[in-house]
Chain A
């Protein structure tokens, strides 16, 4: 299917060479490299090269497999923290609603969610980009941290990549805890503990220079995370509203309310736990649209992930690279979906019961 979409890209991987080569030379090169072969033959060759570890085949390449694969970690650097922040923050409007009102229409939070979804990414970038940058600059000045994000090139990419992933997730938990405290929901002990543990791992296994580089790298990352989070929060608020509205109409909630359980307890023990699986299913269904948001946001901020690489590849008619990224995005989507489905089978007693029957 993704191969099929790629055929839609006008021209082929040799088209950009039309500026430096004559038509005859280009046709000859096309014949040599098999660009004029029947589609099925080209597809078979592509599949063959994918299984041999080369995801950008075709003889002539503008971007190599390594360049494409190098965008996977930066994508995860922004995607996972955005998910963590938006999943938790999108629950706040529901948590601040009384149980009795949960089954009713939530026009304000619905409109707020829609408003966030409809915000155009370049506008969010315009409004928060400069502010976040000046915040980071003042923090660096205050703590006398010097260096540049390009120093990341001095270290092992994979090691610092994983280190930064942990750092970004720890920061997301801290941000979530801050907002939960601000909204007077509860003291987020577990989240702070996880964040503390992740930061401890970073300080134990990475030296000061690497940590400073991560801080500089996070300046650009958090602008992208910020925009993606705004879009995802809107989407998740709407998911939560529908799911919680459905659950709150169920008999066990009414029973818990009649027994006299507190709002907090009903939320924690009955609503939030039951809402996890429908919520996860919705996230899984909506993943292609999340990936599309990623393309839009990364292209806006210039973040070097799969989204902006796909945009550049399509714009420069590099069909091989575009195909490789679409292939990786398909794997990412399928993996996330499988993970969600698998967790449902493992943790959902209803699904376990069905399987045993």
Chain B
């Protein structure tokens, strides 16, 4: 099923563009690790503590040694940009997988096999839908939890909230629509057990719904993580939110806020969140999901 989703989404323009952006960011992230180990001296190109003593004053405009210039604190913008994609890709993948697994696991069996428990779970999910995940993230980012708020943790929390919230509600409704369909009755007559029906017939039909929803939930996770990093709530990790904060805040004191400091992280956010959203639109279009 996942192969089918991958193949069919690639056929649309939305999917192609989405995969292209994602591939671009992943390549950038891998290239950063490679460059830092081989070509770039760590003391100059480290995305957090790097500083180029040979040029002064910082920030400097794009040049041969610093292709995207340096930021007000003397760090290489290209290195920071490439390093910034890693936490967001981690967050997105963890969030997507967590949401997908939780929604499919609960969404396939509970509305089909444990219908009474489904009533309780639907109420719980309706409550979860009302809770905005970025606010939860904001709360978690304060105080003692600060250092523990890694991209993987954020992704896991986001995935659970999305998977058991809006995703479960949609999947549960879809499963209820399917329960009395003719093909399921036919399998029952043939002698299939309820578990077999759930795994063989229901699960493949709800996977595209879960994939499409979780991809769009991941998009807001990316923006929320960016916001948290902008306000320094995710510790000392290289990220685009911090790049924007440093460019605006320190830039106003040290040589002015420059476009070459602001545009790379802005485009980074755009590429990263739009890649997931475009693939989500593509899944919806290919599988006729009108959500």
A-side interface size class: 35 or more
Number of A-B contacts (CB under 8 A): 123
Which residues of B lie under 8 Å from residue A5 when comparing CB positions? Answer: 131, 135-136, 139
- For chain B, the bracket of interface size reads 35 or more
Known contacts A1-B128, A315-B142: A310-B244 contact under CB 8 Å: no
Q: Which residues of B sit under 8 angstroms from A334, Cβ to Cβ? A: 130
The verdict on B61 contacting chain A, using a C-beta distance below 8 Å, is: no
Nearest CB in chain B: distance from A316 CB, A:
9
Measured in the bound complex, the distance between the Cα atoms of B265 and A123 in whole Å is 10
Contact check, B278 vs A114: say whether CB atoms are below 8 A apart.
Answer: yes
Do A314 and B131 touch (CB < 8 A)?
A: no
Q: A1-B131, A122-B244 are in contact. Are A115 and B270 (CB under 8 A)?
A: yes
Contact pick for B127, options A1, A10, A117, A119, CB 8 Å: A1
Q: Judging by beta carbons under 8 Å apart, are B133 and A120 in contact?
A: no
Specify the chain B residue showing the minimal Cβ separation from A282. B291
Contact B227 A296 (CB under 8 A): yes
Q: Which 7 A-B pairs have the closest CB atoms?
A: A10-B143, A292-B134, A292-B132, A288-B132, A1-B127, A118-B273, A114-B274
Write the residues of chain A forming the contact surface with B, with a CB cutoff of 8 angstroms: 1-2, 5-6, 8-11, 105, 107, 110-111, 114-115, 117-123, 126, 238, 242, 246, 285, 288-289, 291-292, 295-296, 299, 310-311, 314-315, 317, 322, 326, 330, 333-334
B285 interface residue, CB < 8 Å from A?
yes
**Most chain A CB neighbours (cut-off 10 Å) among B128, B135, B270, B281:** B135
Chain A positions within 8 Å of B133 at CB level: 292
On B, residues with C-beta under 8 Å from A are 12-14, 17, 127-136, 138-140, 142-145, 166, 219-220, 222-224, 226-227, 230-231, 240-241, 244-245, 248, 257, 262, 265-266, 269-270, 272-274, 277-278, 281, 284-285, 290-291
Further pairs besides A107-B13, A118-B219: 4, Cβ < 8 Å: A8-B139, A120-B244, A123-B262, A288-B129
Contacts of B132 in A (CB 8 A): 288-289, 291-292, 295
Interface on chain A toward B: helix, strand, loop, or mixed SS? helix
12 example contacts (A-B, Cβ-Cβ < 8 A) are as follows: A10-B145, A110-B281, A111-B17, A117-B273, A118-B223, A118-B272, A120-B241, A292-B133, A295-B134, A296-B223, A299-B231, A314-B138
A1 and B130: CB pair below 8 A? yes
**Alpha-carbon separation in the docked complex, A35 to B131 (Å):** 25
The residues of A that contact B272 with a CB separation of less than 8 Å are 118
Name, among A110, A120, A295, the residue most crowded by chain B CB atoms within 10 Å (CB to CB): A120
Q: Tell me which of A114, A117, A292 contacts B135 (CB under 8 A).
A: A292
- Interfacial chain A residues near B135, Cβ < 8 Å: 5, 291-292, 295, 310, 326
Q: From the candidates A121, A315, A333, name the one contacting B227 in the complex (CB within 8 A).
A: A121
Bound-complex Cα distance A2 to B132 (A) = 10
Residues of B within 8 A of A114 (CB): 270, 273-274, 277-278
**Residue of B whose beta carbon sits closest to that of A108:** B13
Could you tell me if A242 and B138 are in contact, using CB atoms closer than 8 angstroms? no
The one of B139, B277, B285 that contacts A117, using a Cβ cutoff of 8 Å: B277
Which A residues touch B166, using CB under 8 A? 285
Cβ of A291: which chain B residues have Cβ within 8 Å of it? 132, 135
CB-CB nearest in chain B for A11:
B143
Find chain B residues with CB under 8 A from A296 CB: 134, 223-224, 227
Distance to closest chain A CB from B246 (angstroms)? 12
Cross-chain contact of B266 among A105, A117, A120, A317 (Cβ < 8 A): A120
Contacts of B244 in A (CB 8 A): 120, 122-123
- Which residues on A sit within 8 Å (CB–CB) of B131? 1-2, 5, 288
A108 to B131, CA, bound (A): 32
In the complex, which residues of chain A have a beta carbon less than 8 angstroms from the beta carbon of B139? 5-6, 8-9, 314, 322
Distance, CA A326 to CA B265, complexed state (A): 31
Q: A residues within 8 A CB of B222? A: 118
Report the separation of the CA atoms of residues A289 and B158 in the bound assembly, to the nearest whole angstrom: 13
Alpha-carbon gap, A122 to B265, bound state (A)? 12
